[in-house]
Amino acid sequence: MPVPAKDRAGEARHREILETAARLICKAGYEGTSVQEIALACGLTKAGLYHHIPSKERLLYEIMSYGMDLFEEQVLSRVQDIADPLERLKSCMARNVELVTLGASKEVTIILHETDTLTGHSRATINARKKRYVRFLETAFREAMKRGQIREVNPTVAAFGFLGMVLWTYKWFKPSGKLSARQVAEGMVDLLFTGLAAGG
Amino acid sequence: MPVPAKDRAGEARHREILETAARLICKAGYEGTSVQEIALACGLTKAGLYHHIPSKERLLYEIMSYGMDLFEEQVLSRVQDIADPLERLKSCMARNVELVTLGASKEVTIILHETDTLTGHSRATINARKKRYVRFLETAFREAMKRGQIREVNPTVAAFGFLGMVLWTYKWFKPSGKLSARQVAEGMVDLLFTGLAAGG
């Protein structure tokens, strides 16, 4: 059944509010951004904004969920079925660097900064989605070790080393800088998976 | 000349204020923490706090400067004279992971989160100190390549890969977790410098 035009318009408006709020929260932090400011930037009254979003915390939760959706659509779902664990990890790293550098830097910033802002069920839901990614990486590292594709290392250290290299790019990467997103993605994969050892 | 007891007491009090403010700002963010709250937590009135610190932004600058001092004392100054560039890098990584995991996590969090909060001269000063670290790493990577100790890689990607692995630990490391700070430090050094390639 086709989605009625009215629903599509409502959804687009909802997305637009999340985008605007994400921009403000990314800049000043959750605590530093008032509902009043978000409403104003959306061209709404405070009451009008509350018509779309029940609470400020819910808004934050929806922004983080949207960031996790993007990650799952553009990274995880595209690599999780790669049978070769080493290829799965390499492709995952390259795609995730590209998502952070090109796509979703404000959602990523918020997910990374506001970890402890959410409470209760919302917090548990976002944390579970993050943890799933860590487990996915640990499993892939274990499989690659089992196949003899990589050395024996601690899979948790490897997973967080991987994540650190990838996620840190949101801090330093500039689209106008000397390195392209592609160069960073390929460079990081090469750095971790080929390693630094000379004449290897 | 010995420092008069009164000055030492004043300095200790100043340090105490920075520590308290750092704890609050680390939790709620700079914008989310009021001068009133900081004063209250220090057992001072707002006017009393302003007697010690001229402005809220100055307070943030001093917390960040203290974090950078700790880093320079405990990491950079202890490794910068190591003649062998590969040993310099390895020792630097291990010491920096230990600083982040054990020592200065709230100052580190603030330095990393509030990058864009400072303005003017304060901001330029902190950014210059951060940049110095990136240049130090790039130089060491270049020297290690020149000596044939490591493969040819892009020194900027290597420097930010190194930093990502190190600094990300403040996000996930728990002193009560399965891995000790030492294990993480050694694991990260092994991961980056030995690499993942099998049978290397």
Chain B residues in contact with A33 by the CB 8 A cut-off are 31
Write the residue in B168, B187, B193 that is nearest to A154 by C-beta. B187
In 3D, which of B13, B35, B30, B185 has the Cα closest to residue B101? Answer: B185
Chain A residues in contact with B163 by the CB 8 A cut-off are 168, 172
Mutate to test the interface with A, among B109, B191, B193 (most CBs of A within 10 A): B191
Per-residue DSSP letters for A134-169? HHHHHHHHHHHHHTTSB----HHHHHHHHHHHHHHH
Write the residue in B112, B116, B196 that is nearest to A195 by C-beta. B196
Tell me the count of A-B CB pairs closer than 8 A.
151
Chain B residues in contact with A32 by the CB 8 A cut-off are 29-32
Name A63's Cβ contacts closer than 8 Å, sequence gap at least 6.
A18, A21, A22, A25, A107, A110
Q: How would residue A117 be classed by pLDDT, with cut points 50, 70 and 90?
A: confident
Tens-digit pLDDT profile for residues A169-189? 988 898 889 999 999 999 999
Chain A: closest CA distance from residue B73 (Å):
24
Chain B residues in contact with A183 by the CB 8 A cut-off are 154, 157
Q: What ipTM was estimated for this complex?
A: 0.86
Q: How would residue B106 be classed by pLDDT, with cut points 50, 70 and 90?
A: confident
Q: How would residue B200 be classed by pLDDT, with cut points 50, 70 and 90?
A: very low
Chain A residues in contact with B161 by the CB 8 A cut-off are 165, 187-188, 191-192
pTM of the model: 0.88
Q: How far apart are CA B35 and CA B58, in angstroms?
A: 12
Write the residue in A112, A149, A187 that is nearest to B157 by C-beta. A187
Please judge whether A165 and B166 are an interchain contact, meaning their C-beta atoms are less than 8 angstroms apart: no
Tens-digit pLDDT profile for residues A78-101? 999 999 999 999 999 999 999 988
Chain B: closest CA distance from residue A171 (Å):
8
Question: What's the whole-number mean pLDDT along residues B80-108?
Answer: 90
CB B32 within 8 A of CB A29: yes
